[in-house]
Amino acid sequence: MYRIPFLAVAVLIGVSACNDNKPSKSGNQTSATSSEKTTPKKENLYPPCHPGCFPGGTAIATPDGLRAIETIKPGEILTLVASDGSTIRGPVLSVFRSTNRLVNLRTESGTLRTTGLQPLCLASGGFQTAGNLKTGDVIWRWLEGKRQETRVMSVVQTEEDAPVFNLVVGESAVFVAGGFLAKGKPPATEESAVTQAK
């Protein structure tokens, strides 16, 4: 029962973890849920990642250093990012694996491979799915232990299907994947086509 209060705290911290501490205009944020409706139909042919995943080899930040996403197991501790950009720790609740189509997100400071439905943190606050980011959008990069703004140069839908992994770290918790701040969210249902990793 002791996990419930911790998870509740992680959820509250994660909800605004992508904010840059600028005053909010009536709390408007980009919703990953609303942007999922405009996802290209082609991706819907693949098992859902709810709402996104990363391919094998993606480096995930942990208190002990970077780890490839496919090596991370439930119960292990990740580095999470709080609303002020500071780091906290949080457990991986579960890991899901599926196969999905990848997109290449190129920014001024590096490239990220992910699925089109993976929400990333906007520097202006809130989230946007990788597939719906536009040239010129500014997102958070994680470099040398702190947030840094980086501008999107292009988003390219590939023809590559690959094994992808979803780390469940709590509703709206923010973790570091491939050097970018990503929003975590659990799968929609246990009965989905996504298989839980052992």
Q: What is the structure's pLDDT at 79?
A: 96
Contact 49, 164 (CB under 8 A): yes
Q: What whole-number percentage of the chain has pLDDT above 90? A: 59
Q: What is the DSSP letter of 45?
A: G
CA atoms of 82 and 98, how far apart (whole Å): 28
Q: What is the structure's pLDDT at 172?
A: 74
174-184 per-residue burial string, b: 16 or more CB within 10 A, e: under 16:
bbbbbbbbbbb
CATH of 3-196, one of 3.40.50.1820, 2.170.16.10, 3.40.50.720, 3.40.50.970: 2.170.16.10
Compare 64 and 188 and report the one with higher pLDDT: 64
- Across the range 67-90, mean pLDDT stands at 95
Q: What whole-number percentage of the chain has pLDDT above 70? A: 67
Contact 138, 124 (CB under 8 A): yes
Backbone phi, psi, residue 98, to 5°: -150, -170
Angle, CA 134 vertex, CA 133 and CA 138 arms, to 5°: 75
Q: What is the structure's pLDDT at 8?
A: 41
Amino acid letter, 83 = S
Tokens of 160: 């590559």
Sign of CA dihedral 147, 149, 127, 69: negative
- Across the range 125-130, mean pLDDT stands at 94
**Does the pLDDT of residue 47 top 90, yes or no?**
no
Backbone phi, psi, residue 32, to 5°: -65, -30
**Every domain of the chain and the residues it spans:** 3-196
Tens of pLDDT, residue by residue over 134-148, are 999 999 999 999 999
Contact 29, 126 (CB under 8 A): yes
**Does the pLDDT of residue 74 top 60, yes or no?**
yes
Query: What's the predicted TM-score (pTM) here?
Result: 0.74
CA atoms of 82 and 10, how far apart (whole Å): 9
- Across the range 99-128, mean pLDDT stands at 95
- Across the range 49-64, mean pLDDT stands at 87
**Does the pLDDT of residue 32 top 60, yes or no?**
no
